[in-house]
Chains A and B, each alone.
Chain A
Amino acid sequence: QVQLVQSGAEVKKPGASVKISCTATGYTFTTFPIHWVRQTPGQRLEWMGWINAANGNTKYSRKFQGRVTITRDTSATTAYMELSSLTSEDTAVYYCARGGITDWGQGTLVTVSS
């Protein structure tokens, strides 16, 4: 069955960057895009961006443009999301999701604290 397995929780200092991985199994990786969505402590869901797993094309939310980079490694069937210039406002659970945002990873908690 389709599984998206994300890397573990991270604690970062303000100003740092974080890179989260999302390894996909159970389907042909290049046939579906991967989205990244984060959930704030207040439970709000925010779409961050998307990568076409076949050709690597990306689109980013205007809110995160310039701070977020989504990449993928097809040989490892893994997508990555890197967020830079972290502040406390970036403390959230980050999710990857497949295709039409059907299947979701288990989430990665990122805590930004000095």
Chain B
Amino acid sequence: DVVMTQSPLSLPVTLGQPASMSCRSSQSLVFSDGNTYLNWFQQRPGQSPRRLIYKVSNRDSGVPDRFSGSGSGTNFTLKISRVEAEDVGVYYCMQGTNWPPEVTFGGGTKVEIK
């Protein structure tokens, strides 16, 4: 099974400053169709997760452009250009390349304000 490893576990950030988090997969996420099915989710405290980014770098509708995704193969990054208070929460990466049979999530990075 594909293992998704996120770092850091916790990310204290200053309001208005950038933030960056990493997601690594145990095997390449490039699918046979050439796409890489790596998504990012945000979960604010007390809420359900929400998808932010799909296929590495595509922002979902309504997602602020301060969020950006990048990477390839087995290494991926989510960046927030200027952190706002509403960005506090846990961020998860998820691979769908090796589905079926398995969709796999990373363990999450918790973003908090310093």
Residues of A within 8 A of B (CB): 35, 37, 43-47, 50, 59-62, 95, 100-102, 104-107
Say if the beta carbon of B104 comes within 8 Å of chain A.
yes
Q: Which of A46, A50, A104 contacts B49 (CB 8 A)?
A: A104
Nearest A residue to B54 via CB reads A100
Size of the B side of the interface (Cβ < 8 Å), in residues, is 22
Q: Could you name 15 residue pairs across A and B whose Cβ atoms are closer than 8 Å?
A: A35-B103, A37-B105, A45-B108, A50-B103, A95-B48, A100-B39, A100-B96, A101-B41, A101-B51, A101-B96, A102-B51, A102-B60, A104-B50, A105-B48, A106-B48
Residues of B within 8 A of A (CB): 1, 39, 41, 48-51, 54, 60, 90, 92, 94, 96, 99-105, 107-108
Q: Are A61 and B92 in contact (CB under 8 A)?
A: no
Q: Which of B50, B100, B105 contacts A45 (CB 8 A)?
A: B105
For B54, the chain A residues whose CB sits under 8 A away are: 100
CA–CA, A60 and B100, complex, Å: 9
| Residue of B49, B94, B103 contacting most chain A CB atoms (<10 Å) | B103
Q: State the Cβ distance, B24 to closest chain A Cβ, in Å.
A: 17
Q: State the Cβ distance, A93 to closest chain B Cβ, in Å.
A: 9
CA–CA, A60 and B39, complex, Å: 20
Apart from A47-B104, A95-B49, A100-B54, what are 9 other A-B pairs with CB-CB below 8 Å? A43-B108, A44-B108, A45-B92, A47-B105, A59-B101, A61-B102, A101-B39, A101-B41, A102-B51
For B102, the chain A residues whose CB sits under 8 A away are: 47, 61-62
| Residue of A46, A62, A101, A106 contacting most chain B CB atoms (<10 Å) | A101
Nearest B residue to A95 via CB reads B48
Nearest B residue to A101 via CB reads B51
Q: State the Cβ distance, B21 to closest chain A Cβ, in Å.
A: 15
CA–CA, A100 and B105, complex, Å: 14
For A37, the chain B residues whose CB sits under 8 A away are: 105
Q: Are A59 and B60 in contact (CB under 8 A)?
A: no
